[in-house]
Structure 1
Amino acid sequence: MSLGYALRRIVEEYPLARADPPAGHPLAAVIRRGAPDELRRALQGIDGPFLVKGSPGRGTHWAAVPWLAAFDPAVTTSATQGYYLVYLFPADREAVHLSLAQGSVAAIREHGPRAGAHLRASGDALRERLADFADRLPVRAIRLGSAGELPEGYEAAHILGLSYDLAALGDEQRLRADLAAGVAAYRALRARGGLALPEPGPLRPGRAAGGPPGR
């Protein structure tokens, strides 16, 4: 198996797999073990370390959006907080997104119904911080095709990344090059201050908000 093959299996098989319980399902095993193993292999030789996890859901319920993620343990070990690199699988079409993402659950807990607006505003600022990656990771917004707090949170939490259709998943060399670009952006974000954004500075004397400079 390769990373592209593992991603393709999830894309193609997930809609039908959800008709059966996840316990003991072969695709749940691919998402929890097989795909993470392939992602670890693809990350070999790229500056680490990384904690790699895949989630098809919890307990007896499949996730609306399954994911496969790489975490820098110095930043976070969980998809709930911090920021991380993740493959997300839309519910409504045969595609997968590679996303440098913010932890949406922490934002939901802190900001409640304003979490989406907070994450999008933060994402806009973080894209400016990573402007030198705009050509390599040009996708600024993703759609996951599923209503609900978590899928909508994942959409809002996206910073930058790439999207693939099924045909693109056959190009293993491209997938690994894109993964390396994603890791480089992840490292750059950490070096440039992470999610911390500067507070608006005080107004200069003689200048009202939105007004012309004082003389």
Structure 2
Amino acid sequence: MLGALLEEVMKLQSGRTSVLADPGMRRRSQVVEHEMPAAIQPWVTEVSAGWSAEGSGGKGSASEVPWTRLFDAELSPRATFGWYVVYLFDGEGSAVYLSLMQGTTMWNTATKDFVFREDADLLRRVTWAQQVIEAAGLKPAAFDGIPYLGDNRLARGYVTGTVHAIRYAADAIPSEDQLQADVVMMGELLKVLYAAEAATVFFPGDEAPEVVDADLAVDEAAGNVRHRKKGGQGYRLNTAEKLAIEKHAVKRATKYFRDAGYSVKDTGATNPYDLLLAKEPETLYVEVKGTTSLGEEVILTRGEVEHHRTHYPNNALVVVHSIVLDRSGPTPVASGGELVVIREWDITDDALTPVSFRYRVPKQPEQL
């Protein structure tokens, strides 16, 4: 019975140590990693036949907050990534929370490792999830959070990253039927998020899709496919989607400069700049970048950098960020976005991060 297992873990939490070999912590790991997943698996299957359940009492040392979660293995291959529903036990053993939440780390293509998401990004993602649930007509009476779980960073991240939680006090565990109903209800909310995620190109805190694509393309060109992260998303935009975003950004930039009295020529197909502007006595070379992200980073080619450094200060950068990409139809449609214009665009070295290097291999005295 799940209720008895929840009560047992909370009692073990009240005597928690950091040593996994301690008898109490060994038992705690047995419950959250094996017995609780087995108990809820039939309920998980009721929500979606392909979903799984797993848990953790800690790796190397006993964790402050043990957990058992239900999830889609393709969309959330690990607890640090994606959306899932999870039982989170507070560090004091006073309560357990059934939480709809997100992984609190993100993959960094530069370091080839996971890094913690900022609290502000987690909160923006929570807001997105709550709006999606509300739009689907499944909003609970109120979105409840978790006030406290523990003091370490993971525990604080769980609190910040929670979309909605149900609290079970140690002395008030509900009936088995109610526990099952709560799992099914939270699972239905999770299904809504998974469906919406498939249509969403960018989440706050993620690297821009263009940056991810560029880094992964460089890895593949260099033969370093082993550096690609396992599970989760790979390339974020296909060719049609990139083209829709690019055309929309150029269209927005063209209108902006024509409204300002410039004649505008689209030169992106044949030159290392996108627009050539003329208004006596001025000629301007304009680079246009469109993105579904917040526009904090864009990808530049070597030719673009060299051209705009040569023609500074008669140049400009236009970034159209936060573009909305509709993937629901046969052809992707880009719309909206915020336009940022940087005149006299000075590309300084400290603003550039190299994505790759071309290396001339020296001639060897001996060929093997």
The normalised TM-score by structure 2 is: 0.49
User: Bigger relative contact order, structure 1 or 2, given CA contacts below 8 A and separation 6+?
Assistant: 1
Distance 2:47 2:149 in 1: 32
- What is the aligned partner in structure 1 of residue 130 from structure 2? 127
Choose from 182, 185, 206 the match for 2:186.
182
- What is the aligned partner in structure 2 of residue 66 from structure 1? 66
Give the counterpart letter for 2:149 in structure 1. G
Report matched runs for 1:146-161 at 5 Å. Answer: 146-161=150-165
- What is the aligned partner in structure 2 of residue 81 from structure 1? 81
Distance 1:73 1:28 in 2: 21
**Structure 2 counterpart SS, 1:62:** coil
The share of aligned pairs that are identical, in percent, is 22
Matched, 1:140 2:141: no
The change in CA–CA distance for 1:3 and 1:139 in structure 2 (over 3 A counts) is farther
The change in CA–CA distance for 1:120 and 1:111 in structure 2 (over 3 A counts) is farther
The change in CA–CA distance for 1:139 and 1:10 in structure 2 (over 3 A counts) is farther
Distance 2:27 2:145 in 1: 31
- What is the aligned partner in structure 2 of residue 12 from structure 1? 11
The normalised TM-score by structure 1 is: 0.81
Matched, 1:171 2:171: no
Deviations 1:64-110 (A, max 9, x none): 11100111123112101011110101113511111111111227977
- What is the aligned partner in structure 2 of residue 51 from structure 1? 52
Deviations 1:121-160 (A, max 9, x none): 1101210111133326x44321333122111111111111
Contact 1:139 1:163 in 2 (8 A): no
Matched, 1:202 2:325: no
**Structure 1 counterpart SS, 2:99:** strand
- 100-109 vs 147-156, greater mean Cα deviation: 100-109
The change in CA–CA distance for 1:20 and 1:190 in structure 2 (over 3 A counts) is closer
Q: Please, what is the CA RMSD of the aligned residues? A: 2.6
Structure with the largest fraction of helix: 1
